[in-house]
Chains A and B, each alone.
Chain A
Amino acid sequence: MALLSPRREVGEFKKRYKWMALAVLATFFLFVGRAVELQVVEYAKWARNADDNVTRTLHLPATRGVVRDTASRVIADNRSSYRVFITPQMVDPQKGVRRIAELMELTDDEQETLRQKIAKVPESRRSHQIEMFSDITRDQVAALETHALELPGVDVIATPVRTYPYGALGAHAVGYVNEVSADDIKAKGNTYHAGDRIGRTGLEKAWEPYLRGTDGIHRVFVDARGRRQDRPEVDPDAHEMHRDPVPGHDVTLSLDMELMRAVETAFRGQPSGSAVVVETRTGRVRALYSKPAYDPNEMSGRLSADGFKALSDNAFRPLIDKTMFETYFPGSTFKVVTALAALQEGLVNPADRIDCPGYYEIGNRRFRCSHMHGEVDMHKAIVQSCNVYFWKIAEKVGIDKINEYARELGFGEPSGIGVNSEAAGFLASRKWYEENYGSRFLVGYTLNTAIGQGNTRVTLLQLALAYAALGNGGQLFVPELVERVSGPDGAVVQEFEPRVRRKLTIAPEHLQYVRDSLVGVVNDPSGTAFEARIEGGVRVAGKTGTAQVSYRRPKPGEDPRKSEYFNRDHAWFAGLAPADNPEIAFVVLVEHGGGGGKYAAPVAMQIVEQYLGGRAAPNTQGAVLSRTQEP
């Protein structure tokens, strides 16, 4: 048997053995390094991953606080709704999804959408429950519950859903909630979880921390197939296993939903406008009405993209809060400010008469008045809204003095109501005009400012608060929307007292003078709002206003009626009632309504009648006068 003969060249590979051994050693250290990386350096990350694998955290949503009006009528509440949560890692993208679709009777498209939605869930959250459907029908609930055993990773959970019994009424003030986005969660430092609802606008947003409550949690141990396990390898002490949810606080508003209904009724026939009612002696806001509005029930649920586009494209701007976010030229309602500035500065004797020929000439420019008023004193000028009178005294007072008193009355800065984005409005000073309108300041700017045009912009809320100060003898209040906050058990946690923002420097007798003139606007047969007075009802004081709008060029092919409408003036009426001892200050704006006396004042009167009807002294004086007037 010829076995192998030894060869001389067995040493031929010597050098290469060394290289091989080196390569093997290098691999060994590579693996050691990798093991150290995984098990020491990245230990925390993987340990968390492992815990996530075997624990499933169920979020027990807290019941959101209820919002009520001043008479405890429910404005925002919760009802039960069934939501479907899916744990992506436990659901087969083909078979599982098909089964879910069968049970829920989804269309093929819906099924595909669900499949993609599950596929898109990021790695880190695949072992979490993710909301896939909300507000499913009773039949769907029944089908899924019956087949729960064959669908691990699919959970039907009853959760409270926000409902707004008043629908669109008060929507801008109350706001709405909807599901948090990934960005929200990041912005809020992970205090929210996917599927949570968050207040988006209005009170729901501003009072989110109170309303929200604290979610509870319930953790269970599961294996890779989602089956619950009794013997956890995870230290239960290291994880909180159960925490009950804590319901949110209830919030009681100063709004009066009956009054809001009345406002709504009064606005019937007007496509677009806004109204604010505040209590003169407390600054409590009784009505915040912006028309048109959206239904917060829809916004809180699943508003389709088309639905949202329809809202944002709507020419009447239903998404805009016209009570405090939008600003307007105050028009003649602002003459009150000019009058008070003139009186307080002692520059004008209110009894002095000025002749109104129907126009006012400065240089070669002619400013038109509504008509020829003849000889007017301040009272008559307010009652009949004579521009010439105010132009003349404005020249004496000057633009900056007018603005100074406007600012004192709360214009030009946010009122501090604390909900929504509140506009500051704008008061254009002499300096501003010089900087923005060429170097030379023109007297015309002052004249425009005196009658609430030019560049003076206000919100309805500011105007209402200024009139309230006029009505209460000089206290400018911080508007109060929330009266109190109470805990889930009903106990009052916090009660909000009226807050005075400032005591006006204007002497009470001047305020009284202007207020008396406002009574004339409604109750004097020559007054601009005389036609709108409440006969035999509440006596009202107020001021009409007609604010010019910037010219809107008609779009090609547009209905000429539409162009005509949007170029019509805004109609204002701001006032106090009852006139002799005002309880409320109110402002009504009918967008593109036309003349304030004709279009805004009747709306305001309806609101006042609804609110004070029967309670206040009858308007005998106005009634008598009106009877003598009518044929």
Chain B
Amino acid sequence: MALVRDARDQFDWTLFVTVAALSVIGVVNLYSATSVEGGTRSDIYIQQIYWLTLGAGVAVLVAAIDYRHYERLGWVAYGGGLVLLVLVFLLGRGIRGSTRWISIGGSSLQPSELMKIGLIIALAKYLHHDPKTGGRTLKDLIVPGLIAAVPMGLVLLQPDLGTAVMLAFIFASIMVLTQLKARSLLALVVLFAVSAPITWEYLLHDYQRDRILTFMDPHADLLDTGWHSHQSLVAIGSGGFWGKGFMQGSQSQHRFLPDQHTDFPFSVWAEEQGLAGVLLLLSLYFFLILWGIKIASQAKDRFGAVVAVGVSAMIFWHTTVNIGMVTGMLPVVGVTLPLFSYGGSSVLATMMGIGLLMNVSMRRFHY
């Protein structure tokens, strides 16, 4: 009984309401985004509801178990994620020249999404046990760097640039939280400057290079790569202040937006709900992220703080890169908008993260 009462008292309603609002809006938007497709895609929003329900269940589970148990199982979570990533190469099926999914039962799973949670937990565990409190040198970055580099490498091999970038950003955000020496930071910048051209030349695929080039000059090749970006701007811009109304977006309803249920749901929302809807949505997302940082700041231990920051960073970078992409501020990379994009793995990973946040939030009263 005490546990239930505790849970009720300590339950983070703010977090719950924010996430629930985003989920509901996301499903409503998906309904509109996929309604015209008919046939196979018209029940996508139903599937998303299933995933959200499943995700909610997972989140409750994740939140229920004291997170300090996760610290103990940190390497298991991390190792499990890596195994799944390797399995992708053995069992995976390819879509559009990239192998990212493995089939489990009737649905497919994208291990790279779950890997983000595994990485966050692993980094949190490592940092928790790292006695260092002062500024970190480059040497101190080697071990956490390797922890991040292994899954990143596997994801790049798929190839999935978007997710690899996400892993890198999450890693960087966590490292920024711990202290870096100015000298180390400088060294990192130099390293980036050296590695960028090599990455460009040898690691990026043609379509990825094209996307970055398109971003530099979106009007260069409108028919191919720039088309996506341009049509997204048309949809958002033509939404105006109040939007065209639910199911009334001429661009989204007539399929001028590509992949509008996975990569461009924000554009659909912006077209149909206008600036008003965009402000609401942005407020929800960024409130959620700030709330996550607040949870981190109140965490009772370093592990909880790092986990909370990691999850906040994950949501922040996904949101920022996706919205930056659809508003033409960043190149087109396949990064999902949490809870808005259709996709089981993405929903599950996000919900696990939310569960972790809830966990850390609820246990701030312990000890």
Indicate if A28 sits at the interface (CB-CB under 8 A).
Answer: yes
Q: Say if the beta carbon of B236 comes within 8 Å of chain A.
A: yes
Interface string of B268-312 (1 = CB under 8 A from A): 001000110011001100100110010011011111010001001
Q: Which residue of A lies closest to B303 (CB)?
A: A4
B176 within 8 A of A: yes
Q: Bound state CA distance, A630 and B302, in angstroms?
A: 132
Given contacts A38-B327, A39-B274, contact A24 B254 (CB under 8 A): no
Q: Is the CB of B309 within 8 A of A233?
A: no
Q: 8 smallest A-B Cβ distances: which pairs? A: A46-B237, A50-B238, A233-B250, A223-B254, A28-B286, A3-B68, A38-B237, A39-B275
With contacts A24-B286, A93-B223 known, is A40 near B241, CB below 8 A?
Answer: yes
- Given known A-B contacts A39-B239, A126-B223, A53 and B128 have beta carbons under 8 A apart: no
Q: How far is the CB of B238 from chain A (nearest CB, A)?
A: 4
Bound-complex Cα distance A30 to B320 (A): 10
A27 with B237: CB separation less than 8 A: no
The answer on a CB contact under 8 Å between B297 and A24 is no
Q: How many A-B residue pairs have CB under 8 A?
A: 157
List residues of chain B with CB within 8 A of the CB of A51: 238, 250
B interface, size bucket: 35 or more
8 Å CB contact of A4 from B128, B178, B250, B282: B128
Chain A interfacial residues counted at CB < 8 A: 51
Instruction: Provide a sorted-by-A list of 27 A–B residue pairs whose CB atoms are within 8 angstroms.
Output: A3-B66, A4-B303, A6-B300, A13-B177, A13-B309, A14-B297, A20-B176, A21-B290, A21-B293, A25-B286, A27-B320, A28-B286, A30-B329, A31-B323, A32-B279, A35-B270, A43-B238, A46-B238, A47-B240, A50-B250, A53-B234, A119-B223, A223-B254, A223-B255, A224-B255, A233-B244, A233-B248
**B219 near A123 (CB under 8 angstroms)?**
yes
Q: Taking chain B's interface residues, is the majority helix, strand, or loop, or is none over half, making it mixed?
A: helix
Nearest chain B CB to A70 CB, angstrom units: 54
B107 interfacial contact with A, CB 8 Å = no
Is A24 in contact with B302, judged by CB distance below 8 angstroms? Answer: no
Given A9-B302, A43-B240, A28 contacting B282 (CB threshold 8 A): yes
Mark each residue of chain B from 51 to 73: 1 if its CB lies under 8 Å from any CB of chain A, else 0. 00000000000000010110110
Given contacts A17-B293, A53-B231, A53-B234, 16 further A-B contacts (CB under 8 A): A3-B72, A4-B301, A6-B367, A10-B300, A13-B309, A24-B290, A28-B282, A30-B329, A31-B327, A35-B327, A38-B327, A39-B240, A42-B237, A47-B240, A223-B255, A233-B254
Considering the chains assembled together, what is the distance between the CA atoms of A6 and B128 in angstroms?
A: 11
> Inside 8 A of A223's CB, which chain B residues have their CB?
254-256
> Taking A46-B234, A46-B238 as contacts, is the C-beta distance between A10 and B256 under 8 angstroms?
no
Give the CA-CA distance A234 to B251 in the complex, in Å.
10
Are A126 and B222 CB-contacts (below 8 A) given A24-B293, A31-B282, A233-B253?
Answer: yes
Which partner residue on chain A sits nearest B66 by CB separation? A3
The one of B237, B274, B289, B299 that contacts A24, using a Cβ cutoff of 8 Å: B289
**Is the pair A224, B286 in contact by a Cβ cutoff of 8 Å?**
no
- A50-B234 contact, Cβ under 8 Å, with A7-B301, A39-B275, A233-B250: yes
| CB nearest neighbor in A for B227 | A89
In the complex, A222→B128 CA distance in Å?
59
Q: Is the pair B301, A39 in contact by a Cβ cutoff of 8 Å?
A: no
Are A32 and B270 in contact (CB-based, < 8 A)? no
A7: chain B residues at CB < 8 Å are 301-302
Is A88 located at the chain interface by the 8 A CB criterion? yes
Query: Is B82 in the interface zone, CB < 8 Å from A?
Result: no
B133, A12: Cβ atoms under 8 Å? yes
Chain B nearest CB, measured from A4 CB (Å): 5
